[in-house]
Structure 1
């Protein structure tokens, strides 16, 4: 199966997840191509692929503008073939029902803004990359983590992603009969 993976990333973690997913698919015998959503994404030939996987990370309640533009511009093509979305966020790593409700709201807004309804959605846990943050962002994320009962130190980064769940999601997606939308909830 030929799989296209298009992603938006802010700090690079979603790129890492997508490269991991592509490696998993290649090891399973599929062809997987990764593309970062950008201004020249109009050149991406969706029709050359059997299935499409988009991925983006939430920052202040929004996905990357390039990914939103890509999904908006290609909504008809995405809706016409098997497609899935990996939503990467720190909310997905938590147990707080309010965070999960907010995540659902962000996903609904993304679908409404883009006109694209993925067949499947996986909510992947994000990362805290203190090494990439300025002083104020480090302080804010340390406060958010503490509020959620996670003790962190700003001298190291934290990858909270459940890679086994990502592996299972992408392999199930390429094998699925792709009926109505299915949400993957790692809680």
Structure 2
């Protein structure tokens, strides 16, 4: 089985999530390719793969434009095969119903813009990368965390992803039992 994972990322966490998932697939003798969505609309060609995952992170309610363009360009091929979307966001780390409604609205806008209807969607919690933020973004992120009752320290980064849930989703979607915890 050939599996493709195409991602859009801002600070690199979505790439790390895809590489993690691909490593778990390869550990089960499946061929997994990870590619960043780029300016070349034809690369990579999803039609030569059996299963395709697209992954992108939310920033101010929008996914990365290159990934949106990739999905739009390849929507016909993606709609014809087993394909899933991994939406990465900080809101997915919480339990706030308003945040989850917002996530669903963002996915709905994405599917409307791209004409792609994924067979499944997984919401993965993202990361807070204080080490990569400028002063103003660091301040804004600390404020957002505080509004949600989280105490963060700007001298460290936070990875909020539930890797076991991600692994279960990816392996389940391709039809391989998780068997062992990630």
TM-score tier (shorter): over 0.9
Partner of 1:150 in structure 2? 150
Q: Residues of 2 paired with 1:169 and 1:41: CA distance?
A: 27
Partner of 2:86 in structure 1? 86
Q: Residues of 2 paired with 1:113 and 1:47: CA distance?
A: 21
Partner of 2:56 in structure 1? 56
Partner of 1:34 in structure 2? 34
Alpha carbons 2:41, 2:73 under 8 Å: kept: no
Partner of 1:168 in structure 2? 168
Q: CA deviation at 1:47?
A: 1.9
Partner of 1:100 in structure 2? 100
Q: Residues of 1 paired with 2:43 and 2:17: CA distance?
A: 23
Partner of 1:141 in structure 2? 141
Alpha carbons 2:51, 2:81 under 8 Å: kept: yes
Q: Residues of 1 paired with 2:50 and 2:91: CA distance?
A: 31
Q: Residues of 2 paired with 1:47 and 1:105: CA distance?
A: 28
Q: CA deviation at 1:19?
A: 0.2
- SS for the counterpart of 2:170 is helix
Partner of 2:112 in structure 1? 112
Q: CA deviation at 1:28?
A: 1.2
Alpha carbons 2:8, 2:66 under 8 Å: kept: yes
Q: CA deviation at 1:41?
A: 4.0
- SS for the counterpart of 1:40 is coil
Q: CA deviation at 1:43?
A: 2.8
Unpaired runs of 5+ in structure 2? 177-182
Q: Residues of 1 paired with 2:90 and 2:109: CA distance?
A: 18
Q: Residues of 1 paired with 2:46 and 2:6: CA distance?
A: 10
Residue by residue over 1:29-63, the C-alpha shift from the partner in whole angstroms, topping out at 9 and shown as x without a partner, is 11000110011241322122101000000000000
The 5 Å alignment of 1:63-82 reads 63-82=63-82
Partner of 1:10 in structure 2? 10
Q: Residues of 2 paired with 1:119 and 1:8: CA distance?
A: 19
